[in-house]
Structure 1
Amino acid sequence: MNYLVVGSGLFGATFAYEAAKRGHHVTVIEKRDHVAGNIYTKEVDGIQVHEYGAHIFHTSNKPVWDYVHQFADFNRYTNTPIANYNGEIYNMPFNMNTFNKLWGVVTPEEAKAKIEEQKASVNLGDKEPQNVEEQALSLVGPDVYNKLVKGYTEKQWGRKATELPAFIIRRLPVRFTYNNNYFNDPYQGIPMGGYTQIVEKMLDSDLIDVQLNTDFFDHKETYLKDYDKVVFTGMIDQFFDYQLGELEYRSLHFETEEMDVDNYQGNAVVNYTDAETPYTRVIEHKHFEFGKGDKNKTIVTREYPKDWHRGDEPYYPVNNQENNGLYAQYKELAEKQAENVIFGGRLGQYKYYNMDQVIAAALETVTTEFKN
């Protein structure tokens, strides 16, 4: 069969690799001037720069961890972000180091008692939390909320916490250990030499043709007619010409700067949790590979969340009740085209995926498509 894969991110690349392994011809079209989608990394000053924000591979899925190791060796990077609140530094996720800095408590028992005292001071009564602010206060109380949750969340979503539905924060990670590892997953790391190589190796086949700077929507009907099947990883609402209305997304703006210093902030990721700082986090890329690169240079990226408008790059689906209902309607349209089009990835399935989940979803699609 002749497959057209729209988008060269992890979902599209994984599908293309598996289809070619089975002897099928695949054309991959990509509207950007490079492969790898949002996990694209580019070497500058010997530093692998994460062009579209920090990407740390983590998973509890051993088969996926083994699968991705076909294409790269991973280092032992552990995600330990810190929070900067008006110059005060706190560890994340919220753990004993955080609580010691906030309140001077030393033991888990003291920390638990302090959190209960904080929660009691809010006095929400028996009512269910109605928004993010009430939900967070009911979980951790005002100190943690005001310093480490409120400002960051409002910047991330572009709305006041009192206007955001409570389910956005179903829980907050609170740990009563002095452990700064952000993820609970047993497998974690970053590919040595960056992420781009993974997709390049996936697409390195005589049966795969890659076409960059190519927009599916410039020749949509021709593509649908000329290929046996299309794997579409773009926005599902755009595929259907927004005929049921626009789904909501959040977008990002990045400002990257080369600096003539060896070490700018001492950590790969620093979250800015106050409301006054316009960006949500600063990434210093060389720390992902333990300082590898030019000793007299560093690369820093500031990440600014923003509203999405047509023409912007969509990064996150806004999975509230209204949008999920609209997506369900688009999914019904997609199912009517299932013989000809497969919708996949974060945008095609309107779902927030981590990298391991994207690969797992792609492999599940492969199994369904090829029955092996």
Structure 2
Amino acid sequence: MYDYLVVGSGLFGAVFAHEAMQAGKTVLVLERRDHVGGNVYCETKDGIHIHKYGAHIFHTSYEDIWNYVNQFVKFNNFINSPVAYYQGHLYNLPFNMNTFRELWDIVTPAQAEAIIAVQRRSITGTPKNLEEQAISLVGTDIYMKLIKGYTEKQWGRSCSELPAFIIKRLPVRYTFDNNYFNDRYQGIPIGGYNKLIEALLAGVEVRTGVDYLKERALYRNVAKTIVYTGSIDEYFDYKLGQLEYRGLHFETERLEEVNHQGVAVVNYTERDVPYTRIIEHKHFESGTQPVTYITREYPAEWKRGEEAYYPVNSEQNQRLYQQYAILGRQEQNVIFGGRLAEYKYYDMDDVIKSALECVHKRL
């Protein structure tokens, strides 16, 4: 009998498995897909590491987490500086003086602050939905050109129908700084994320192509404790109802070009453009290959049996999740952890931090 059966080989599962093994525990990892790594998995073509399930850029302000991942693989100095495309114009992200200069042909922070202050006044009282919340934070121009269409594609519904709390705050910088993240540490693993996952799972028994929920009877008693990282409602066979998720569809194309868009990520913020962004993977690692690969990312309604990418953050879904969480706490010798099991959007550093805290409580 194993000490731990870990269901899922994404960051939470891989970190938990590694730490448990280092502590002398026996571990078996089951992975439904035909590869390990969850959504950080990369495919390599023409020497380019393609982020198969969307762009993943590691960033953190936790020095201990940065040191932790650097044990396994070195990171490059990639800085995420995406741009937004709207009706033939490019705007720097996050919203900063470069964005405002392009929008309004102004040059000083005071000019930008004045314009935004006037536009914010169109919203009075407590914002009732996402649209009003966004305008109250950044004004109408930024909202209409750079937020509205992108957000409606992402969530599959009008901004006026989305709850205000989804956008609690929006970063606005009155400096010429295109670094998307404020975190102190940032980069991409040199050689791709597979190197990180492979190092974490080195020496751990892993079985891919195994759907634990379909083979639960076979694996139920092979370990003293189960670490489950899949969807919590699916674990309980949707007995209380189905949580909502958003899906994603990716179209990857090989181009006979050295450099297609000049940046790793371009967001397409018009509602009529069906994809939300185009990723050019070679720029994550400053590639010099004679060809390039781009991926168009399309948001999609999620259906059972498809990959669930992120939760639909509504009050109704949170209430349902809390009911499932109660059931989860009643399960004997089962740990629920990670993005899907906790029905929570996690940055990668927070997933790793959560996994470390979880496993160290148990050891």
Partner of 1:238: 234
Partner of 1:85: 86
Partner of 1:139: 137
Give the root-mean-square deviation of aligned CA atoms: 0.9
Question: Equivalents in 1 of 2:319, 2:120: separation in Å?
Answer: 34
Partner of 1:330: 324
Partner of 1:149: 147
Q: Which letter maps to 1:335?
A: R
Partner of 2:313: 319
**Could you state the TM-score of these two structures normalised by the residue count of structure 2?**
0.98
| Pair 1:162-2:156 in alignment | no
Partner of 2:187: 189
Q: Which letter maps to 1:271?
A: N
Q: How many residues align?
A: 362
Q: Which letter maps to 2:334?
A: V
Partner of 2:359: 366
Q: Which letter maps to 2:103?
A: L
- What does 1:48-87 correspond to in 2, within 5 Å? 48-87=49-88
Instruction: Determine helix, strand or coil for the equivalent of 1:348.
Output: coil
Shift of 1:128: 1.0
Partner of 1:94: 95
Instruction: Determine helix, strand or coil for the equivalent of 1:221.
Output: helix
Shift of 1:310: 0.2
Shift of 1:64: 0.4
Q: Which residue of the other structure, out of 321, 344, 357, is the alignment partner of 2:337? A: 344
**Could you state the TM-score of these two structures normalised by the residue count of structure 1?**
0.96
What CA deviation, in whole Å up to 9, does each residue of 1:294-342 have, x standing for no partner? 22x10000000111110110010122111111111111111111x4111
Question: Equivalents in 1 of 2:3, 2:100: separation in Å?
Answer: 57
Q: Which letter maps to 1:204?
A: A
Where in structure 1 are there 5+ consecutive unaligned residues? none
Dislocated runs of 4+, deviation >3 Å: none
Q: Which letter maps to 2:5?
A: L
Instruction: Determine helix, strand or coil for the equivalent of 1:346.
Output: coil
Question: Equivalents in 1 of 2:141, 2:324: separation in Å?
Answer: 42
Instruction: Determine helix, strand or coil for the equivalent of 1:302.
Output: strand
Partner of 1:174: 172
Partner of 2:30: 29
Question: Equivalents in 2 of 1:221, 1:336: separation in Å?
Answer: 19
Does structure 1 retain, via aligned residues, the 8 Å contact 2:250–2:295? yes
Partner of 1:10: 11
Does structure 1 retain, via aligned residues, the 8 Å contact 2:5–2:222? no
Instruction: Determine helix, strand or coil for the equivalent of 1:352.
Output: coil
Instruction: Determine helix, strand or coil for the equivalent of 1:180.
Output: coil
Question: Equivalents in 1 of 2:151, 2:11: separation in Å?
Answer: 27
Question: Equivalents in 2 of 1:259, 1:335: separation in Å?
Answer: 50
Instruction: Determine helix, strand or coil for the equivalent of 2:4.
Output: strand
Question: Equivalents in 1 of 2:267, 2:21: separation in Å?
Answer: 41
What CA deviation, in whole Å up to 9, does each residue of 1:181-218 have, x standing for no partner? 0000000000010001111111111xx21101111012
Question: Equivalents in 2 of 1:332, 1:116: separation in Å?
Answer: 45
Q: Which residue of the other structure, out of 200, 204, 214, is the alignment partner of 1:218? A: 214
Q: Which letter maps to 2:54?
A: G
Question: Equivalents in 2 of 1:210, 1:226: separation in Å?
Answer: 14
Where in structure 2 are there 5+ consecutive unaligned residues? none
- What does 1:93-132 correspond to in 2, within 5 Å? 93-120=94-121, 122=122, 124-125=123-124, 127-132=125-130
